[in-house]
Each structure stands twice: as structure tokens, then as C-alpha cells.
Amino acid sequence: MNTHETQAAQVFLAHHDFVRGVALKYAPWPGLMEDIAQQVFLEFMAKESQWDLSTDARPLLATMTRHIAMRQWRERTRQQPEVVQKLADHIRLLAEEREAPPRYEEEISVLRSCLQKLPEKSRELVELYYYNDIGTPQIADQINMKADTVCRALSRVREKLRECIERSTNQGGPAHA
Amino acid sequence: MPDTDTLIQHYLEGTLTTAEAEELHELLRTQPELGERLLQHFDMDAMLRATKPLVADNIIRPTLLPKRRFTFATVTSVAAMAACITLLGTWLMNAALDLRPEAEETTASVAVLTRGVNLEWDSATITPGTPLSPGWLKLKSGIAQIEFYQGARVLIEGPAELQLLSSGEATCTRGKLSAQVPPQAKGFRINTPKGTIVDLGTEFGLDVSAANEEVHVFKGEVELHQPTATMKSLKEGQAMAIAGNTAVLTANASSFASLNEIDARSAMSQRFQFEKWLASSSKLNADAGLRLRFDFQDDEGSRSLRNHAVNGGQIEDGSIVGASWTTGRWPGKRALEFRNVSDRVRLNIPGETKALTMAVWVRVNGLDRTFNSLFMSEGWGERKVHWQITRDGKVRLGIAGSAGAHHADHDTPVFFTPERFGRWTHLAVVFDPTAKEVRHYANGELLTRSTLKDTEALKIGIAELGNWNDRRTGGVAIRHLSGAMDEFALWDRSLSDTEIAAQAR
């Protein structure tokens, strides 16, 4: 790789979480975020000679990510039954109309420390489902519980992690509060 | 049909059946708040997937990628370096942080201010019921009663300066205090500039003035430790200067505030505040913009709340369902307790309002549900309003869009932390179309202001205090408040910062 290509790759990697955040906003479809981020990387690198790497890459990456996200979202949801397509449409509109900007970048680093604070059983559940790619019905079989109970437990874990992130980002209140 | 959590999980897992997709879509249409919840789960799900430890198959999924001149493989060195830096950074960060084994709620508080009479502070203002963290309390005037978590009860008389160190230790550098130390708090320590008093389960007084420091023992025994002298033991009825002349004196209990005294003065002060509130009510009721005011002073046993607003003719009295009567901010002040899923006060605010201010005195006992209602229009849509507290402690004014337009949520930062539970709090929210903003207040102080994109008039209609009826049959969302209210008012104009502050006094 020449120097400019290396620099372009470094620029992308420095903004990887930003790209993921934009992808989430424009393509709220399960499992799509990482595919979009990879595609943005490929297209960004394919045209790397055109980019002025001394300027802020965010506007460029945001535009690229938005286009790719919408394209991939359409491709992915087109394969779904009509009723699921309508649901996906509704959720995409909700995500786009959300007033808050994507906070993926700031939250992902906090999440890592929040994960360390989870009780052991919750951490095991995260490892089984998210890291070992075991589905909720299979987890339910393994631990002899109903699948719905596992779904609710995962939901609670995500809510606990959300609370932990909010707490961490809202620290510094009044001394006596 | 699975519950909402399961539906969301199936969506995230990509295993929604057609029927479940229909159900989830319907829920999202009828419960707009669910949309934000789903998106939060979606965001967290994506982040959790991204925290998967770096392994080859997680970095690249070649089958998904078309062939290009550049692939991740061509920049492995850069990616690997970045990954190493990230991992090293994460490891260092984790090592530097004091990670607790569980993400349980914690508090740094070591004591609580239980009562106060005519309190004026040189340090930050605190009110009875406030948990106290280690730090300085600088009391300008008045008497404050502090209960340490280890069990000792201390009265300080202003002017005084007390530094809380732990649940069993404090430093007094100025002023007078008296302490009552039960056996379980034996060993309670008070430091002064010239020595340390260790209590052996007793009652004593301490006077720290610029000229002298004296300890007076009213009951039991204390140890007096000084840097340059041997430890001295003082018994009931004895007093001694902490430095200088060490002659044993006679204890003088009458020169220190007693618990009986604070009982009497506290009761008097509460009565005064209640009378003051009663006296100001008629002026408040006559406000031209006031449309509704419940003072909750209806006859005990009454199942309705009278609207006292002089210009609130169109708004009928509220109807109490389930909620029971309890004591409000002061003895003699009545309040309604909301505890069960059925508890609510139903009312009707007909017509439209261009501007809106709502204020409530509320005691929140806990945030047990995703949304905890303060005041909510029945159902949702067409400029209805939902004033509520989210599970994470933010106060939210949700305003529905009209003609299918999206709704807007106006949130405060997290306000209700566990330390605030069980304390009377004044909340107010202002929908101000002139300034094009929504303002939230707590205890008379502005919490946040957010921009109002849609200033179209509001249509409250049938509404509920402390609960929500979403008008669906079966599976109604549970949003009742866990707590009490003892005053609620609604204006069809935007109150100013000063007016809100006056309400909260």
C-alpha cells in the first residue's frame, strides 16, 4: 500500500464508530450495521486518491454511509414479506425522525466498561447470545428455561446497560443530590 | 402473542413471524413511545455485537462483499495495529477504573438531613430529606438535624461549619452541636481543630468558638483525645475545655439545642408554612390564566377533587379512582397516594390551548415502570400531551403531532435519582409558543429548555393525573405513578421563570 492508501485506511478506522452510528440511523435492520461499515470502507478506499485527507472526513463519510445504508436497507428488506416490509419502513422513519444525533461513538466506549460491571449471569447471557452466536431458543434449551424468559432477560440486560451508560454520561450532579 | 420484550427480541434476532410483525407494527402505531424503546434496544444490540472480541470471522465476512481492489485483507497491518491500540486502551482503561462486580445502584451519602428550622446555608441549599455525601455543610442560621447512617443524631446550630467524613465521623470547625449516640453508633467521632471526641454511647454537646472549644456530657461517657495530652474521660454532668485549662466544669445542657426544642420549632415552622400556603391560595386561584387548580384539601373520604380556579368554569372537578388519601407536605395538608395500577384522577380539559403551563407538587417513591405518569391525555395523537417520568429519571413532556405528523419528546437530563425518592418535589413544565420552547423546572429552578418545532395549539381533552388510559381494550400499558401528589395547577399561558420560582417556594 502506498502512503496515501495507508493514510486513507487510518482515517477510516479513526471514524469507524462514527460510520457505524450513521449506519444505525439510516438502516435500522438487525445485523446490517457492520455490513454497511465494511461497504463504506471498500468504497472509500476505492476512491482514496480523490480524497483530501487533511480535511475533516466526517461529512464525506456521513454522505457515503447514508447512501450505502439506504441502498443496503432496501435490498435487505425487499426480500421480506410485505407485512415485515411495512414494519421495517415504520422503524426506519422513527429512526430518521429521531431528534437526537447518533451517540454510538461516545456510548460504545462507555458500554465496554459497563459490560464489566454486569452481574455474572447477565455477562454469561451476553457471551452466549452476542459472542457465541447462540439463538435464544438454543440458550433456553441449554439453561432449561422458556425462550420468552431468555428474551426478557436479554431485554433487561440491554436496559441495564443503557442505564449504566446514561449514569456514566450524566455524572457530576450536585454534591448533595 | 408474545409480550413486547419478546417481540423486540424476535425483531433483533430476525425471527419475527408474520403475525408478530403485524402485532409489533400495530403496537408501534398505537404506542409511539415504544418506538424510542425499540430503537434504544436496536442501538444497544448493534453496540453489543460490535463489542464481540476481535476474531478473524468478526472482522470480515467475505461472502457478503463484492470483489474490490481493496479489501480489509490489504490493510491488515493498519487494522491490526488499530485493533491492538484499541485493545491496549481498553485494557488500560479497565485496569485504571475501579470496576465493581455488579452494576447495582450506589450512593456516596453517609447521612441524611432529617429536619430543619429556619435554615439558611452558606454552602449549597439543602432541604430536609436530602441524603448527604461527605463534604462541608456551612449553616448560616437555623437548626439542622442530621442523622448519620451509623445511627448518631446530631443537631447543629447556625452559624456552624461541619465536614462530614463518613457515616461515623465528622469534623466541626465552628459553631455548636449536640449529639445523641445510641449504643449501635458507639465510637462516633467528632474532630475539632484542637482535639477529637469519641463517644461511647451517650449524649454530649460541643461548642467550637474562635476563643474556645468545650465539650459537655449530658449522659453516658465520652473520650477526649488531644494531640499533646493523654486521653481524658468525661462522664455525665461534666464539661471541659478541649485545650488550655483542663479543669472539669459542670455540663450546661440548656445552652445547646435539644431534640424536644427542634420538635417544637419544627412543628411551628411547618404550621407557619402551611398557613402561608393557605393564605396565598386565593390569590393564585384568581390568576386570569389559571384553568385548573386542585389543592387536594377536599374532605377526607371525598372521591372528587374540586377545581378552585376562578376562571376554570369549563373544567369540571376531577374524579378520584382508586387513589387513597394521605398526608402531604405538612401535617394537615392532604395528598393523594398513587400506588396501584388502577389509581388515578380523571378530568377533562376541553378545547384547545395555545400555551400551557403545568405545575405539581409530587413525592415520587420509585420509578418502577418504563413511563411513570404525572399528567397524561387519554390515548395519543392530535396534539395531546403526556407529562411523565421515564424509568431512568428524566422528566418528559411528549406532544403528539397532528394529522399523522411525528410526535416530539422534550426531556430533562436525569433528575430523579434514588436519593430524590420519597421527597416532596415541585415540578413545572411550560409549553411556550412565543419563545418557541419547552421549559422544565424542578423546585423552581430551570432544568432545561428545548426548541419547539411545532407550535400548533394543544388539545388535552380527557386526561389523568398519576396514570394513563391508552383507550385500547385489553393489554393496556401500565404507567401509573408510584408516589403522591398534593397540588396540581394548569394555566393556558406561559409562566415566567420568576412565576414558577414563586410557585415552588
The per-residue pLDDT for B107 is 66
Q: Which residues of A touch B61 (CB under 8 A)?
A: 34-35, 38
What is the phi/psi pair of residue B281, to 5°?
-65, -45
Fill in the amino acid letter for B20.
E
Query: Which residues, including other chains, have CB under 8 Å from residue B320's CB and lie 6 or more apart?
Result: B302, B303, B304, B305, B336, B344, B345
At how many degrees (to 10) do helices A16-26 and A104-117 cross? 100
Query: How high does pLDDT run on average in chain B?
Result: 83
Query: How far, CA to CA in Å, does A152 sit from each of A149, A160, B7, B24, B411?
Result: 5, 12, 10, 16, 26
Comparing CB atoms, the residue among A83, A95, A174 nearest residue B124 is A174
Query: Where along chain A do the CATH 1.10.1740 domains lie?
Result: 3-97
Q: Are A51 and A60 in contact, with CB atoms under 8 Å apart?
A: yes
The percentage of chain B sitting over the pLDDT mark of 90, rounded to a whole number, equals 44
Q: Which residue of B has its CA nearest to A133?
A: B49
Contacts for B146 with CB less than 8 Å, ≥ 6 apart: B111, B112, B113, B114, B132, B137, B153, B154, B155, B156, B162, B164
> Of B90 and B131, which is predicted with more confidence?
B131
Model confidence band, residue B105 (pLDDT cutoffs 50, 70, 90): low
pLDDT at B55 over 50: no
Query: How far does Cα B147 stand from its chain's mean position?
Result: 20
C-alpha cell at A131: 459472542
Encoded amino acid at A149, one letter: T
Tell which of B70, B90, B391, B425 to mutate to test the A interface (max A CBs under 10 Å). B70
CB burial of B47-84 (b: ≥16 within 10 Å; e: otherwise) equals: bbbbebeeeeeeebeeeeeeeeebbbeebeebbeebee
Chain B nearest CA to A8, separation (Å): 10
Residue B414: closest CA among chain A residues belongs to which residue?
A170
Q: Tell whether B245 lies on the interface with A, counting CB pairs under 8 A.
A: no
Q: Is B392 on the interface with A (CB under 8 A)?
A: yes
Picking from B1, B3, B26, B44 by the largest number of A CB atoms within 10 A of its own CB, the best residue to mutate is B44
* Burial per residue of B185-213, b for 16 or more beta-carbon CB atoms within 10 angstroms, e otherwise: bbebbbbbeebbbbbebbbbbbbbeeeeb
**B127-130: which pairs have CB atoms within 8 A and are 24 or more residues apart?**
B127/B423, B129/B422, B129/B423, B129/B424, B130/A176, B130/A177, B130/B419, B130/B423
* pLDDT (0 to 100) of residue B50: 80
Distance CA A143, CA B485 (A): 45
B72 — contact with chain A (CB < 8 Å)? yes
Overall average pLDDT of the A95-122 stretch: 82
DSSP code per residue over B186-228: TT-EEEETTEEEEESSSEEEEEE-SS-EEEEEEESEEEEEETT
Min CA distance, A66 vs chain B (Å)? 17
Q: Which three cell numbers stand for residue B436?
A: 418557541
Least confident of A171-175, B18-22, B75-79, B259-263: A171-175
Interface of B with A in 49-68 (CB under 8 A): 49-53, 60-61, 64-66, 68
Segment among A104-108, A111-115, B164-168 with least mean pLDDT: A104-108
The closest alpha carbon to B337, from B358, B322, B359, belongs to B322
- pLDDT digit string, tens, across residues A22-70: 898 889 988 888 888 888 888 888 888 888 888 888 889 999 999 999 9
What integer pLDDT is reported at residue B310 of this predicted model? Answer: 94
Classify domain A104-169 by CATH number: 1.10.10.10
3-state secondary structure of B103: coil
Confidence band for B490, pLDDT divided at 50, 70 and 90: very high
Other CB atoms within 10 A of residue B498 CB: 9
- Number of other CB atoms surrounding residue B242 within 10 Å: 23
pLDDT of amino acid B64? 29
Instruction: Tell which of B1, B28, B37, B43 to mutate to test the A interface (max A CBs under 10 Å).
Output: B43
Per-residue model confidence (pLDDT) at position B279: 87
Q: Is B491 helix (H, G, I), strand (E, B) or coil?
A: strand
Does A87 sit within 8 Å of B28, measured CB to CB? Answer: yes
Q: Taken in order A168, B386, B38, A147, is the CA torsion positive or negative?
A: positive
What string of H, E and C letters represents the secondary structure of B438-466?
EEEEECCEEEEEEECCCCCCECCEEEEEC
Is any Cβ of chain A less than 8 angstroms from the Cβ of B417?
yes
Is the minimum CB–CB distance between B146 and chain A shorter than 8 Å?
no
Cβ-defined contact of A98 to B78 (cutoff 8 Å)? no
DSSP at B494: P
Which strand (E) or helix (H) includes residue B374?
Answer: strand B371-377
- Listed in order, the ranges of chain A carrying CATH 1.10.10.10 are 104-169
Inter-chain CB proximity A152 and B103 less than 8 Å: no
pLDDT exceeds cutoff 60 at B84: no
In this prediction, residue B23 carries a pLDDT of 92
- State the residue for C-alpha cell 421515564: B390
Identify which of A117, A130, A154 has the shortest CB distance to residue B100.
Answer: A117
pLDDT at residue B197 is higher than 50: yes
Q: B106 falls in which pLDDT band (50, 70, 90)?
A: low
pLDDT tens, position by position, B358-371: 999 999 999 988 88
Contact B317, B345 (CB under 8 A): no
CB contacts of B62 in chain A (<8 Å) are none
How far apart, in whole angstroms, are the C-alpha atoms of residue A69 and residue A63? Answer: 10
pLDDT score at B372? 93
| Shortest distance, CA B220 to any CA of chain A (angstroms) | 33
Task: List beta partners, residue B111.
Answer: B132, B148
CA neighbor of A111 nearest in space, from A8, A4, A21, A11? A21
Amino acid identity at B339? R
Among A170-174, B254-258, B359-363, B410-414, name the one with the lowest average pLDDT.
Answer: A170-174
pLDDT at B329: 92
| Domains and their CATH numbers in chain B | 4-65+77-93 (no CATH), 111-257 (2.60.120.1440), 277-504 (2.60.120.200)
Q: Report residue A101's pLDDT band, with 50, 70 and 90 as the boundaries.
A: low
> What is the crossing angle of helices A104-117 and B32-50, to 10°?
70
The partner residue sitting opposite B41, judged by closest CB among A45, A155, A164, is A155
CATH topology classification for A3-97:
Rna Polymerase Sigma Factor; Chain: A (1.10.1740)
